[in-house]
Structures are given as C-alpha cells and as structure tokens.
Amino acid sequence: MRINEDILLEGQKVVLVPYNADHVPRYHQWMSSPDLQKLTASEPLTLEQEYDMQKSWKEDNDKCTFIVLDKQKWADPSIPEEGCMVGDVNIFLTDPSDPTLAELEIMIAVPCYRGKGLGKEVTRMMMCYGISMLGIKKFEVKIGLDNKTSIAMFKKFHFKELTVSEVFQEVTLGVTVNENVRKVLFGNMDFMLQREYGKARDSRQAANQPFSL
C-alpha cells in the first residue's frame, strides 16, 4: 500500500517501518523456518519470490505491511536496520465490497522477543493505524487452533470467535470497533508517535557516517 510508504510509527518497545527491499533477506531467512511457516500458515518462497512479494505488498492497495523493529536497538545508529528486525504486521483488505473490513496478521519472528509485550503493543498500534488512517471498522484474524498465545492475545482486544474450521484446524476471531474497543486501543494515545520514515532513516544513517572535514 502506498499510503504507508513513508510512515514510521514509534511505540514504547517497537518501531514500525514500511517493508522495503533491504528487509527481504532477513525476512526470507525467518520464513524458511518450518515452525514459523506452521504458526503463520505460510508457504516457503524462494528469495526471488520474496522480493516480488515485497514489491506487491508495497504497490497493492489491499495490503498494508510494517516491519517491527526493536526500538532500543534502532536507537543505536551503528546497528543496521536489518539487525533491528524482530517481526512484521499486516492488514489485508479481504473484501472488495467492504473496505472497512480488515484481516490482521502479526508475527514476532525472533523467539527471544516473544512474551515481552511486543505482540500486544504491535497489535494495538496496527489497529489504531488501521482505524484512523484506513477507516477500518471490523478486524478479523485467522489463528491455528493450537496457537493459544495468539488466541489469548487477540481476546484481550475484545476479539470473539466467529468460526472454527476443523479442516484447516483454525479459528477465525473478529471484532467490531465500538466504543469499548476504542477505549482499549486509544486510551492514553501518547503511547504512539507518527513520523516520516525517510527522514528518520536518513538522520540515522547520517549519525553513523565517520566524521570528515
């Protein structure tokens, strides 16, 4: 989606940046893990296919993707951005007749970062972004039946069970954005800042240039 190509969202523990070509090798490395393929119901892709996918995610109007960075690492300009990557988060507009309905996907790919509140923060940030910037009013998420962590996390955001597929061994949870959900998401809104990604990246790179006269 072009709308987020220069957007950086800064939370307390994470920074979300648009998925760009520099992120592809690390992303591809993650997705070659059978565990992550199972948890995210994804098929393995070649590196070339992953570059094509990144391009389509950037250009297609029905997909909005951010890469999740460790904010503490990202604050150190000597660490390349790829070295700060810990996961990704996506919004898919799945129903062309209803642009207010979005499917959410989230992955904290690096195992040592799980269970530390990043998933919850990223979900909240992406839902706030989807509601405010994309006009989303309903979210859905498909989760493997044995992925108790993910199911528990989405229930914290008032998602309820919509359907269960025994064939695919997955549950679909959904939530309509009402006042209660807004309170959970938007209460204490200073938890998130929005900035221009290009400028932030340039000043990070400039800070890392050796000093010369």
Instruction: Spell out a b/e string for 67-105, using b for 16 or more CB atoms within 10 Å of the CB, else e.
Output: bbbbbebbeeeebebeebbbbbbbbbbeeeeeebbbbbb
Shortest spacing between CB 201 and ligand COA, in angstroms: 25
By beta-carbon proximity to ligand COA, the closer residue of 30 and 197 is 30
Strands 170-176 and 138-144 come out as antiparallel
Q: Could you tell me how many residues of this chain bind ligand COA (CB under 6 A)?
A: 21
Nearer to ligand COA, 115 or 198 (CB): 115
Helix axes 47-59, 24-31, angle to 10 degrees: 120
State which H helix or E strand residue 132 sits in. helix 118-134
Under the binding rule (CB under 6 A), the answer on residue 39 touching ligand COA is yes
Task: Give the number of other Cβ atoms within 10 Å of residue 15's Cβ.
Answer: 25
The nearer residue to ligand COA, 92 or 200, going by C-beta atoms, is 92
Q: With binding defined as CB under 6 A, does residue 192 bind ligand COA?
A: no
Residue 28 in contact with residue 45, Cβ under 8 Å? yes
Asked if 67 interacts with ligand COA (CB under 6 A), we say: no
Residues 125-184 that bind ligand COA (CB under 6 A): 141, 143, 147-150, 152-153, 156
Within residues 98-117, the interface with ligand COA by CB under 6 A covers 106-108, 114-117
Q: Which residues bind ligand COA (CB under 6 A)?
A: 39-40, 106-108, 114-120, 141, 143, 147-150, 152-153, 156
